[in-house]
Amino acid sequence: MVDKLIAPYGGTLVNLIDPAKAAALRQEALSLPSLDLDWRQQCELEMLMTGAYSPLAGFMTRAQCERVETARQLDDGTFWPVPITLGSRQQAAAGLKPGDRVALRDGEGFMLAVLTVSDAWEAHDEWHLGGAIDGVALPPHPDFVSLRATPAELRTLFARRGWRRVVAWQARQPMHRAQFEFCLKCGIENEANLLLHPQVGGDITEAPAYFGLVRSFLAIRERFPAATTQLSLLPAAPREGSARALLLRAIVARNYGCSLLIAGGEHQIDGDCRRGEDLTRTHSDLPVAELAERVGVRLIAYPRMVYVEDRAEYLPESEVPCGARLLTLSGDEFRRRMRAGLKIPDWYSFPEVIAELHRQSPPRERQGFTVFFTGLSGAGKSTLARALAARLMEMGGRCVTLLDGDIVRRHLSSELGFSRAHRDINVRRIGFVASEITKNRGIAICAPIAPYRQTRRDVRHMIEAVGGFVEIHVSTPIETCETRDRKGLYAKARAGLIPEFTGVSDPYEVPEQPELAIDTTGLGIDEAVQQILLKLEHEGYLR
Ligand SMILES: Nc1ncnc2c1ncn2[C@@H]1O[C@H](COP(=O)(O)OS(=O)(=O)O)[C@@H](OP(=O)(O)O)[C@H]1O
Ligand SMILES: Nc1ncnc2c1ncn2[C@@H]1O[C@H](COP(=O)(O)OP(=O)(O)O)[C@@H](O)[C@H]1O
């Protein structure tokens, strides 16, 4: 049995923040240029400053990157698998040269560190900066404060609890029973403690699923023996699942005090469980296990785990008795059931974990969505939007917001006209408000002309990230609209009294793939609304 926690990679744990110097650095930064880091760069900086990337003490220079790419070595010959770099497209980065100092800030201007530039080069339309870091403060994380710990803090905690051999589970995905059982088994077989280290680096405003992930870990933590298991958040940004990235994770695990790392075991988008063997052997161009040994961390390949019904337990496939009845659920089937709100069997995942995932992304009928009408003036957008809102409110149980053109132009866009630029601003504002409503699980109904394809596409992307988006092209031809001419605008436009009038003297780009197209010529309003309701029902938005 080992008698001490594994030493950090390179021997000493790096800590780039000296609180005694912070005030002086902040003062100096008043006269320094600044770079704003995006969330990914902030993650990398945090990993450097806390020593998770020990022995690195800054971003790599070009020569160091090349050496890592070709020989996988740092200057002193230490093995290192991936370049750690800082690239920026900001103007402030362009003029920097070796010897310059630059303040690194988060998107809000909060100061994180000062970088002393030792190399600056241009590649892929970006300025790359290498150099040493003087840390001022870690990026602020207002969420899950009690679950955050630096490598030094975790090491102190482990030492206090008498932990000497720790196995890490670094995951970007929720843990189900197969992974749970395997982690338990690893702990027992290796006489090791377990660090559950979900990888949570990301932009929380863009990826709200992160909260559900962490809550699902809080739920499953209760299933592990409390005395031997620790849950903490790893502020690392996602990387592709390559062998090199795995080796970097091994270094990170070591710096956090772990001498064992479980490799693989997460569900992939393509539906199958990624197996440790895939990473350590089959798909690798590197002798991964050997290199991991140089890092000092033993990789434990996650095998294919199957549920053996007769024994009511999970086993690695290789240990399954001959002829045993097995149960499996593919990743695709799991996601289909989650989307539809169907039951997930208890043998697959713990009910409290599923409950957290459901809370985070409820089935479609409880998600927010936006119905986005687009079409010419007089096509019937407002009429249909109002009638649809009324029908949805009549059904009850959902909050419906109508963002009709008139309302928006009065309250949000009163200063705007009808130039292309102004129409774009108008439609993007509508999209932003609708995305907030959708994110908070309401129904937004929008009815602008929205004549430009690209703008509509951008709005769709923004909203689809947080819920549903249903585009309805009210495709009533201009002849009908002009005959209706409810407000007399077409007559005025033809007479040249209104410039830039959509369909007359301004373009309307027809939607290519709307969820629904409705020509209201000779169609009753009720019939049209019925078509929309059927569509919403069919897509799963309505019960
Ligand atoms: N030049 C010009 N072109 C088109 N429409 C005009 C114009 N000038 C005023 N109006 C009136 O404004 C309404 C369209 O505003 P929107 O906010 O929906 O337009 S846009 O999406 O920003 O293009 C539109 O209302 P609807 O008839 O309800 O579509 C018109 O009544
Ligand atoms: N099936 C239908 N759907 C919507 N509007 C219709 C329909 N049939 C006739 N109309 C009439 O067409 C006009 C559409 O005007 P409006 O809804 O203000 O259009 P928009 O908002 O697209 O400018 C209204 O006078 C409405 O009564």
pLDDT digits (tens, 9 = 90+) for 152-178: 999 999 999 999 999 999 998 899 999
Give the confidence band of 243 by pLDDT, cuts at 50, 70, 90.
confident
CB 122 within 8 A of CB 107: no
Q: What is the mean pLDDT of residues 106-110?
A: 92
Which of 412, 414, 502 to mutate to test ligand 1, by most ligand atoms within 8 A of the CB atom? 502
Average pLDDT of the segment spanning 386-410: 94
Q: Which 3 state secondary structure label does DSSP give 469?
A: strand
Side chain identity at residue 390, one-letter code:
A
- Is residue 56 marked as binding? no
487 by DSSP, 3-state: which? coil
Confidence of residue 289 (pLDDT cuts 50, 70, 90): confident
Of 133, 60, 61, the C-alpha closest to 101 is: 133
Q: Which has more pLDDT, 125 or 352? A: 352
Q: Is 382 annotated as a binding residue?
A: yes
Chain centroid to CA 203: 6
The pLDDT assigned to 278 comes to 64
- The pLDDT value given to residue 270: 42
Separation CA 175–CA 177 (nearest Å): 7
Handedness of CA 314, 217, 239, 360 (dihedral sign): positive
Confidence band (pLDDT; 50, 70, 90) for 223?
Answer: very high
pLDDT for 434 equals 98
* pLDDT recorded at residue 287: 87
Could you tell me which residues are beta bridge partners of residue 148?
Answer: 233
**pLDDT tens, 60-107?**
999 999 999 999 999 999 999 999 999 999 988 998 999 999 999 998
Q: Is the CB of 375 under 6 A from ligand 2?
A: yes
User: Which atom of ligand 2 is nearest to 447's Cα?
Assistant: 21
Q: Which of 45-49, 134-138, 275-279, 433-437 has the lowest mean pLDDT?
A: 275-279
Minimum-distance ligand 2 atom for the alpha carbon of 525: 1
Structure ipTM: 0.97
Of all atoms in ligand 2, which is nearest to the CA of residue 385?
17
Copy the structure tokens of residue 282.
């089959």
pLDDT at 371 over 70: yes
Q: Write down the mean pLDDT value for the chain.
A: 93
Q: What local confidence, expressed as pLDDT, does residue 275 receive?
A: 60
The whole-angstrom separation of Cα 58 and Cα 61 is 9
Pairing of strands 516-518, 468-474: parallel
Instruction: Give the mean model confidence (pLDDT) for residues 217-246.
Output: 93
Please state the rounded mean pLDDT for residues 39-67: 97
Question: Helix, strand or coil for residue 326?
Answer: strand
Overall average pLDDT of the 491-516 stretch: 97
Over 50: is that where the pLDDT of 128 sits? yes
To the nearest whole percent, how much of the chain has pLDDT over 90?
80
Give the ligand with the smallest distance to the CA of 375: 2
Distance CA 486, CA 159 (A): 78
How many percent of the chain have pLDDT more than 70? Answer: 95
| 475 annotated to a ligand binding site | no
DSSP 3-state assignment of 186?
helix
Q: Is 524 annotated as a binding residue?
A: no
- Output the pLDDT for position 277: 63
Establish whether the linkage from the previous residue to 55 is cis, with ω within 30° of 0. Answer: yes
Determine the pLDDT at residue 508.
98
- What are the angstrom distances between the C-alpha of 213 and each of 200, 210, 317, 339? 9, 5, 27, 16
d(CA 380, CA 516): 14
For atom 24 of ligand 1, the residue with the nearest CA is 377
**Which pTM value belongs to this model?**
0.82
The number of the ligand 1 atom at minimal distance from the alpha carbon of 499 is 1
Q: How far is CA 238 from CA 125, 283, 364, in A?
A: 22, 19, 27
Per-residue pLDDT averaged across 20-33, rounded? Answer: 97
Residue 477: how many CA atoms within 13 Å on its side-chain side?
3
Residue with tokens 């002393």: 116
Query: Is the CB of 381 inside a 6 Å radius of any atom of ligand 2?
Result: yes
